[in-house]
Amino acid sequence: MGVATAPSGPAAESDLPGPGRAHWLRVAHEAADDLATDAVAREQAGKAPFDEVSRLREAGLLTLLIPAGSGGGGADWATAYAVVREIGAADGAIGQLLGCHYFASWSAGFFAEPAVAARVEQRSAAEQWCWGAGFAPREPPLTLARKAGGHVLDGRQSYTTGVLVADRLAVRAVRADTGEPLAVVVDPARPGVRIDDAADPFGQRLAAGASVEFDAVPVTPDDVLGPLPVDEDMLSPLAALAAPVGRLVSVQLLLGMAEGVLAEAREYSRTGHAPWHPAWPVGTPHDPQVLTAYGELTVLTRSAAALADQALDAVRGGLARGEDLAHDAYAEISVLVAMAEAAASRAAQECTTRALDIVGTRCVSARLGFDRFWRNARTHTLYEPVAHRLREIGDYHLNGAHPPFGLPA
């Protein structure tokens, strides 16, 4: 069984309201350049990224995906992916934070009724919310119990991206009485929310992730977005697209990391110094081993990027089909995204490791910060392992088995 080529895409960019793709890519490039100037110092300081979020907010990137009619940027997912990749190349942790924000802020569109989703979007745009999320399926879910006037949320999540700086969290919970899984919005400032940021990760330190305790946190009916089934047969293929849409964020982030470290290694090899350390000695850009390594990593990254482009086209086509999307077509899209995940994960890990060989022993200086690329990529791939994705790809091609519904961690 083969993976289908991309279905026909949605409306042309010129038909979308809002500033347009070219505008947002220019804004993203400027924001990435700004983040790159002090990326090493910020990463080594490891402070909660309130300033970085302010930079994204001032650039208009936080409301990028919200429809223009609701006060947002009116961009599509293809543009959001490109922005995450651009930001991720400059700062992998902020790229993860932004990608998680996009998926979490869009979750109402997948799981809530249209009227509820519209209210969430309008308020998110008006108040410039930064979103965090915790949908990880590999740990016990939070519990949502009925209470007069609404519900209360209890439990613990060991890691929630963005929680240190988020205005809202999108989390997975189950009803205490029925066990039905749900997507729930939580204000982290509410009583009963306790954040423990003592994890001290070695990578993705600015993704603002931490563990969170929820102790009888009040949840109103409007905060319950909708069902979050674990079985694709229990929800429509359109709602199931939330899984590949979210996982493609991870793909773009990993590609950004790979491209970012190669660009920085190239700059250092050509000039003999990093832009912020002009006094360092000239390198050896004509060394045959350096040329071979850079060539291999470029081929690996470009190949992964081409597969990601195919997956992106398939996702766009699936979203364009809407309720006409069939389960078989959804399965093909999901498998293609899984293939892109595997390729991007390998590219990021290979590039962030072997780029150090391109630079040579000079890269051991902590002041250059080359190690942050490897630490960031390795941390992200630990949270999003691809071994199970490879098994799903094999099971699909050999046995025609549909991959299970699974949101990104």
Please name the helix (run of DSSP H) or strand (run of DSSP E) that holds residue 362, with its range, or none.
none
Instruction: Return the pLDDT at 8.
Output: 31
Together in a domain, 175 and 74: no
What pLDDT shows up at residue 283? 46
Residue 5 lies in a domain: no
Angle (nearest 5°) at CA 145 between 140 and 147: 160
Considering the domain architecture, whether residues 141 and 124 belong to the same structural domain is answered as: no
* Whole-angstrom distance, CA of residue 245 vs CA of residue 372: 27
Structural domain including 196 reads 133-231
Residue 229: predicted pLDDT: 64
Angle at 175 (CA atoms; ends 108, 164), nearest 5 degrees: 55
Looking at 74, 109, 130, the residue that finishes a domain is 130
d(CA 389, CA 170) in angstroms, rounded, equals 24
**Share of the chain residues as helix, strand and coil, in percent rounded to the nearest 5:** 55, 15, 30
- pLDDT of 10 reads 38
- Tell me which of 215 and 404 has the higher pLDDT: 215
Pairing type for strands 168-175 and 131-134 reads parallel
CATH number reported for the structural domain that contains residue 367 in this entry: 1.20.140.10
Q: Which pLDDT score is estimated for 285? A: 62
Among 154, 133, 115, 305, residue whose Cα is nearest residue 207? 133
Q: What is the C-alpha to C-alpha distance for residues 121 and 128, in angstroms, rounded to an integer?
A: 10
Indicate the residue type of 334.
S
**6 domain residue, yes or no:** no
> Is there a single domain that holds both residue 184 and residue 303?
no
pTM for the predicted model, two decimal places: 0.90
Same domain, 157 and 299: no
Residue-level pLDDT at 363:
79
CA–CA gap between residue 387 and residue 21 (Å, rounded): 34
Tens of pLDDT, residue by residue over 226-252, are 887 665 556 778 888 999 999 999 999
Predicted confidence (pLDDT) per residue in 348-404, tens digit: 999 999 998 888 877 788 888 899 999 999 999 998 899 999 999 999 999 999 998
**CATH number for position 42:** 1.10.540.10
Dig out the tokens for 385 from the structure. Answer: 């392992």
Of the ranges 30-39, 136-145, 190-199, 289-298, which is most confident? 30-39
How far apart CA 364 and CA 368 sit, in angstroms, is 8
In angstroms, how far is CA 320 from the centroid of its own chain? 21
Token pair, residue 52, equals: 């970085």
pLDDT at 270 over 80: no
